[in-house]
Chains A and B, each alone.
Chain A
Amino acid sequence: MTAATGALGERGSAMEFAAAWARRNAWILSLLGLLVLLLAFTRIIQPNYGIAGVQGLAISVLPLALAAVAQAIVVIAGGIDLSVGSMMALTSVVSASLMEGQSEEFAVVVVIGVLLLGLVLGAINGTLVVVTRVPDIVVTLAMLFVWAGAALLVLRTPGGESASWLRGLVLGSLGNEWIPKSAVVLVVIVAAIWLPLRRSRLGLSLYAIGSNPLAAFRSGVPVGRTKIAAYMLTGLFSALAGISLTASTGIGTPVPGPYTLQSVAAVVLGGVSLAGGRGGVFGAIVAVVILQLIRTDMTFLKFNTNLATVAQGIILIGVVMIGSLVQIRRSRS
């Protein structure tokens, strides 16, 4: 009986499965569609856009994408981390100043140490949020000052240097010249850390505390510890983003760039709900590429670069507005 229905329903269920998958991932699919349209558009307005353009895009996207992943993880767990940009600045200056004048081998130690530093920074953020029970926004806003100040203590002015193997890791292409190394690095990092994590118990717990902390608590999820773990992962990815900044620019800059803001924008555009518990890091990465491509296109179109800032703000607001309109309508019906 069951076997027969199974065989009969095979084709139907496969179709249904595909349809359900498409529906569940409608947001990411439309983002990918938008990305393809944008690439086509870029090619039309700038027929020379090719290998060099893709290379530049991938290099500028790498730190931003890692920052977006960092933000996405903590937002999924129901928090928000406004100190991502400062943690990037701190880890970037620490790595750049430690690598200055040192051997290539020592740089490996530095990279590992800075990644551990990222975990520690995140652990401090998370512990403060959990122990003080002060809203995430306030704590991380305060830590934004603290980490930025610490970065200034390490290096007053941009300086330091990057080991050449680290620079070689992100600059240039791998095999086919259409495949920039920095894109490969991004894929490898995310695949090595996020994918196994998402399937693990901790990954499920992250989503659980994000969507309903009380229900998660009652089903035996250690809410506090999971939240700290989420902040530690955010610290780890911020450190990766900081190291990638050092690698791609060759120096460390103590003043935080606009990365926190852009990471929040990318997370929202990437379909991660700010209320927590929804979305994934893939959408956020696609969103980063889209935002960066829009900026490139605006320079090709000889727009005033300041209008690009305006456009970014409008896109950010517009995306969230559409998202909340959809939600309002859904809750009414």
Chain B
Amino acid sequence: MTAVARPRAGTLVRDVRNAFRDRPIIPLVVLLGVLVVFSELARPGIVSPDWAGVILRAAIPLAILAGCQTLTMLTGGIDLSVGAVASMSGFVVATLVGGPGLAAGIIVALIAAALAGLVTGVGVGVFRVHPLIMTLGMSLVVLGLANVWQLEMVQTAAGVPAIFRTVGSGLFLDIVPYSLLVFVPVAALILLGLRRTGYGRLLYAIGDNPIAARLSGAKAWQVLVVLYVVSAVLAAIAGFLYSGLTNVASVTLADTAVLPSVAAAVVGGTSIMGGRGGFGGTIVGALILTVVSSLLSSLGYPEAVRQILFGAIIVAVAAAYTRVTGEA
């Protein structure tokens, strides 16, 4: 009997494993559902349309930053400069909106972000500096320059523009966050870009096997330069949303979001070694992290416990992925 039963159990385990490996988004959505149910059980009545709106508004900028991590991690890189770039962009717009105007502010911020991304991309792609070092270094450069800018512009600071506040924290019909207006096109662009375009496939190819990618004619440096510019521009967009969400313009606003953005991408099933993952999982990952942190703060746990739990989640999920993909 057991001899018959055992292989069956084995195939079941293997099926689950395969499902987990091929479609990580399904177990992730299940996990998200479990967390929502758990929130409701822990604090009855907490799950409501209002709550969903709060979660979405907090998760959207995080998901965009995690998108930067997803794209760069697919090539085996990482972008730790997203926090500095995002803060800088929100801050630049806030300082320029009083004088030259909103449009000019946004354009200047996007150009500044793209320049930072260009430098990072050249460093990583052409000079082959390790992305971790390159982006850490760039975040110092961007932060320092933003501080200098702050001293220059201290008189003209006008605050976060009203439109950012509406988009970042406003709700349509008191339920649907306006930030979806920004997020849906961005997410569609990333998802389609990764799935349907040659450029998306090049990202996977370079991360999976750089030598094979080179031998089949991919110019890795061009791909990487474009990649880090895209990543910086995405970070700038997330920075606009963050400044609108918190109604704060500061040069260190988004710094605390850098590690959660990496966590969201890792939880979402993107491998930091490159070649595996996607943006769909990352979105769910960002939602999971946001639900967890809201649950913990509603239960009255201090920030410290949230940090510890975040760390534990990252290790546990990453270990689960390694087990499933590495051994199966």
Contact = CB atoms under 8 A, between A and B. Distances in A.
B269 to A, nearest CB: 13
Given A274-B130, A317-B123, A324-B128, 12 more contacts: A131-B319, A132-B315, A133-B322, A137-B272, A142-B315, A143-B311, A151-B304, A274-B133, A306-B148, A313-B144, A320-B134, A320-B137
B123 A321 contact: yes
A58 to B, nearest CB: 24
A141 to B, nearest CB: 6
A313 B304 contact: no
Contacts of A317: 123, 129, 133-134, 137-138, 141
7 contacts: A134-B318, A134-B319, A274-B130, A309-B141, A309-B143, A312-B140, A320-B133
Nearest to B78: A137
B138 A146 contact: no
Interface size class of A (residues with CB under 8 A): 35 or more
Contact of B306 (A134, A149, A307): A149
Given A304-B151, A306-B147, A309-B147, A139 B315 contact: yes
B154 to A, nearest CB: 13
B322 to A, nearest CB: 5
Given A134-B318, A135-B273, A149-B307, A304 B148 contact: yes
Given A307-B148, A309-B140, A312-B140, A139 B318 contact: yes
Interface in B112-155: 123, 127-130, 132-134, 136-141, 143-145, 147-148, 151
Contacts of B319: 131-134
A106 interface: no
B310 interface: yes
B308 A150 contact: yes
B328 to A, nearest CB: 14
B315 A328 contact: no
B144 A142 contact: no
Contact of A313 (B141, B273, B323): B141
Contacts of A264: 132-133, 136
Interface string A50-77: 0000000000000000000000000000
Contact of A316 (B140, B144, B273): B140
Contacts, number: 141
Contacts of B302: 152-153
A17 to B, nearest CB: 34
Contacts of A193: none
Interface in B280-328: 302-308, 310-315, 318-319, 322-323, 326
Contacts of A142: 263, 310-315, 318
Contact of A148 (B138, B307, B323): B307
A184 interface: no
B13 interface: no
Instruction: Give the interface SS of chain B, mostly helix, strand, loop or mixed.
Output: helix
A137 B80 CA distance: 12
B266 interface: yes
A32 interface: no
Nearest to A154: B304
B133 A316 contact: yes
Contact of B312 (A80, A134, A146, A324): A146
Contact of B133 (A146, A268, A314): A268
A316 B136 contact: yes
Interface string A291-333: 0000000000000101111111110110011001100100000
B65 interface: no
A41 interface: no
Nearest to B84: A313
Contact of B138 (A131, A134, A307, A313): A313
B109 interface: no
A116 interface: no
B304 A150 contact: yes
